[in-house]
Structure 1
Amino acid sequence: MWSDVRRRSGSPPRNSTKSGRWYRADRRDCARCPLKARCLPKRAPSRRVQIVTNHAAILRARRKRAAWGEDDHAIYTRHRWQVEGAHGTAKTLHGLARAIRKGLENMKIQARMTAIGMNLKKLAAAVMLLVCSIMDMRAARPNPASAASNPKGKPHDRCERLVRAYLAAMEARDLPAARAMLAPGFAMVFPGDVRMTSLAQVLEWTAPAIAE
């Protein structure tokens, strides 16, 4: 690789870092170069160039991208925001901008734990969306309580009206109307993991409180 970048009178790299190696040109070549004023910083005797460790892979990637067509650029533009958005979220909201512990293996663990946390949040959002969709479907079913009150309202409004109508019917002891609002196979879960699957169970469970 160095034979491709080393000039005829230049010297091989003298020092290397974690990110790559440095190449230093001969100062005599730089002294008579017509581009010296544009190429060298002030007070620099010669040009120094860093060749990164994966320099060959970078060149291959650049040549591959230079050969892209319009379809390839369109696909890249369409999908880039998804990848960049995930990386930005991991850095700004999940602490991936800074390593918690030293070492490559510890950084791998941190990155994997961050990915797991982000995926769990996406899964929770998907479950909540599914639950809301099921509630909307059930609320859209025709029933005596909500058929006459704005059937074109928002799904969440219909859900709220249905629950309020059911509670009002139970408070007024209008059991036929309350029973008509319950879908087949319904279940109510109360604090203490108390699960009710019929209106009779609800009445039996609330009977002591009503008697008082």
Structure 2
Amino acid sequence: MRKPSTKTSNGNIFPLTESWYKTKKTFYAHMWRSKMPMIECTLIKGYAEKTRKLLAERVTDAASSTIGAHPDQVIVTIKEVLATNYMRGRVNRKPAAAPIEPEFIVREYLSAMEKRDLETAKQYLSDDFTMVFPGGASFKKIEDLISWSGKRYRNVKKSFENFDTSFKGLNATVFCNGYLEGTWLNGEIFSKIRFIDRFSVSDMKITSQNVWNDMGERLR
């Protein structure tokens, strides 16, 4: 009987000896002891490289936070199959369009609001969008927010230090923090006012915004 063999990257064939099997067994045993998970994902061929990279990063983060493995120990591979070789419910499928990143949606919304381009800003909001600002001021329409803020300052601009996104199924929560700068109603310039915003994003639309900042401390 012909002995099992394998092919190297340069095309050479060598037999799989007992020593080879022992080496492989030792390797997997080491992976198990050192919490080195191997995770394989299968995708229909057609997703962009950026999307595949993002998937691998998120799978790595999920494994690290769940089982305590260091990211350097998490191995993620992505196998692609042709649409003709993929069937679900007796129907060949095509890759679905990857959703817009929640952080991008939030950044674009905040940019539009800063420019007072309200029509563009509204494109990123869900029909049931709500927002809550310091002091419990709650709004459903950004026009009402503009009217309320106009009694506090002439203009304001955000400089960002961090964006952090977490996911639960198809829903995402985006936090951003940094500093506010702008002009008070009396013409005085303000800066270095801390803020943190929390956005809920679902189906590529912002459903809520909660705002905390130190502006009230400066107004006293």
Task: Normalising by structure 2, report the TM-score.
Answer: 0.25
Hey, which of these two has a bigger chunk of strand by percent? 2
Answer 1 or 2: higher relative contact order, Cα 8 Å, separation at least 6: 2
Hey, which of these two has a bigger chunk of helix by percent? 1
